[in-house]
Structure 1
């Protein structure tokens, strides 16, 4: 297996599946071939993704979220096209399979699928503009790496403005390769920050 991996060409193009040209998956045009590069980029997919969302010509931004901004229910007038908002969030959920860096932002946006507001849509468009400015990011797994398992977690106590529930994040590495990640809001309100930290640590331990 090791020899087979070493024999792979970095810029080789791989066929994925034979589908009709108009076939779509969760609203995105299907890609027949993807060119893998040494940095793990999948720029061809990102370009078509942004074309479908009508953000290909948008102005890029350096970050995917404004740190000081806190999203909450009824923080602005309702967005006039909630179905379009839901479609975009669904595409971003799919994109987190290769872009873990936007997992927290997508977790935040997915809380307001029922009644999105203009502020929620503004935050959503910022994520898309961030993707526009960073099209080549993704996961890259080295052929040879150590088998040391490492896990990291963090917690934002009472981060949700509406429910006062905490939000925790976890990522697990096998060697230098990221193999598991998640950003999740807790199901209960915890009155102690220490107790919330222990809950986040227990969740990370189970994932490991």
Structure 2
């Protein structure tokens, strides 16, 4: 606590003043956390001072909020590129992340307990051997470069502005266990998965070979409602975080996420099956190979009318950079598709948007992405719709924004290929 207070005072986070008569201060509290290493041993004890911002009113006390948080896909992409390019990866931790941004509004806060009354993102720079990438997730920082000297210079510059902890080469970042070998870089969440099994009482359960039974369709009316849905929500929330390195449970978790408001005993049984599946291989993860051409390719699919309650289709996509899987998604479409071709076409659109965004990210990381990206789809009719310049009767009901895939085709950003689903 003393270290946190000292860091806040050194950064000039606040100024001690008398409260004006018309102002109402917000409260604050201490949040304590034990930081563990990947092997479960205690690394350090951490204290955070948190302002009770939920007492403020949007539009009166503040207009917007911002926190530099990188997308998980960005993290995976950076690791995949670093593994292929042989970049050094180091991590840092900001000693305190309280109000490092600029405030345009006046905020009055009560004195923190224990203090006496004394007066998104991702950044890149350079090119070639001098290239460096900096990834920020609130107060956790990851820096990648081919030159260790540049990494050390960045550490010194950051430490001169913010007090940081140098955690050395990347090993454990945001719950991700990173192991670098000659074949490449392996990431997993084994510690997190074991903690999940322990918290839910499934440490000694019998494992199964699939996270979900394909023939079972979950719906809102099936089963008996659970009186207390807290446990169900906790399981689903933790499973969502586990999908960072486990694409094999992505679809099952998406199915379970639809019933958070009123889960039934059947939904809980399905959630328990996912836990039993995790028990079979808690250390399952991803491998980013050291040898890669860094060429992007994607796969797109759709399950027409899969949702029993709404008859909306479920899309699925995955994007590879070389042989490294960096992005995947399983999501219910926002509207009902009148045909399987339309459902597949909408899945292609979602895949195209993801490919376009990743191409921008690769450009920022200094990767030349020449030529169109191959997108594989098992629907010949959806490919025909995308490549057909004639706006005929069968595609009038598809929104105009969905036809951006045709625009990307004409610009040579993507190229569609048919692949069998057998």
* Pairwise same-fold verdict (TM > 0.5): yes
What is residue 271 of structure 2 aligned with on the other side?
A: 124
**Which ranges in structure 1 are unaligned for 5 or more consecutive residues?**
18-30
Greater RCO, CA 8 A, separation 6+: 1
Query: Would you say the 8 A contact 2:177–2:188 is kept in 1?
Result: no
Q: Larger Cα Rg: Structure 1 or Structure 2?
A: 2
Report the 3-state secondary structure (helix = DSSP H, G, I; strand = E; otherwise coil) of the residue aligned with 1:139: strand
What is the TM-score with the length of structure 2 in the denominator? Answer: 0.42
What is residue 203 of structure 2 aligned with on the other side?
A: 56
What is residue 239 of structure 2 aligned with on the other side?
A: 92
Report the 3-state secondary structure (helix = DSSP H, G, I; strand = E; otherwise coil) of the residue aligned with 1:189: coil
What is the TM-score with the length of structure 1 in the denominator? Answer: 0.83
Report the 3-state secondary structure (helix = DSSP H, G, I; strand = E; otherwise coil) of the residue aligned with 1:202: helix
Over aligned residue pairs, what C-alpha RMSD do you find?
2.4
Query: Would you say the 8 A contact 2:223–2:266 is kept in 1?
Result: yes
Deviation of residue 199 (structure 1)? 1.0
1:172 maps to 2:319: yes
| In 2, Cα distance between equivalents of 1:67 and 1:184 | 17
1:204 maps to 2:361: no
Output aligned runs, 1:128-139, within 5 Å: 128-139=275-286
Deviation of residue 144 (structure 1)? 2.5
| In 2, Cα distance between equivalents of 1:152 and 1:41 | 23
What is residue 14 of structure 1 aligned with on the other side?
A: 171
Deviation of residue 81 (structure 1)? 2.5
| In 1, Cα distance between equivalents of 2:173 and 2:333 | 37
Deviation of residue 14 (structure 1)? 2.9
Deviation of residue 46 (structure 1)? 2.2
Deviation of residue 149 (structure 1)? 0.6
| In 2, Cα distance between equivalents of 1:36 and 1:45 | 16
More strand by share: 2
What is residue 135 of structure 2 aligned with on the other side?
A: none
Query: Residue by residue, what CA displacement relative to the aligned partner does 1:84-116 show, whole Å, maximum 9, x if unpaired?
Result: 100110000010011111111000000000000
Query: Would you say the 8 A contact 2:208–2:276 is kept in 1?
Result: yes
Output aligned runs, 1:98-113, within 5 Å: 98-113=245-260
What is residue 115 of structure 1 aligned with on the other side?
A: 262
| In 1, Cα distance between equivalents of 2:339 and 2:87 | 52
1:160 maps to 2:307: yes
| In 2, Cα distance between equivalents of 1:81 and 1:53 | 15
Question: Runs of 4 or more off by more than 6 Å in structure 1?
Answer: none
How has the CA–CA distance of structure 1 residues 164 and 3 changed in structure 2, closer, same or farther, with 3 Å as cutoff?
closer
What is residue 186 of structure 1 aligned with on the other side?
A: 333
Report the 3-state secondary structure (helix = DSSP H, G, I; strand = E; otherwise coil) of the residue aligned with 1:207: helix
How has the CA–CA distance of structure 1 residues 4 and 164 changed in structure 2, closer, same or farther, with 3 Å as cutoff?
closer
Deviates more, 1:65-74 or 1:139-148: 139-148
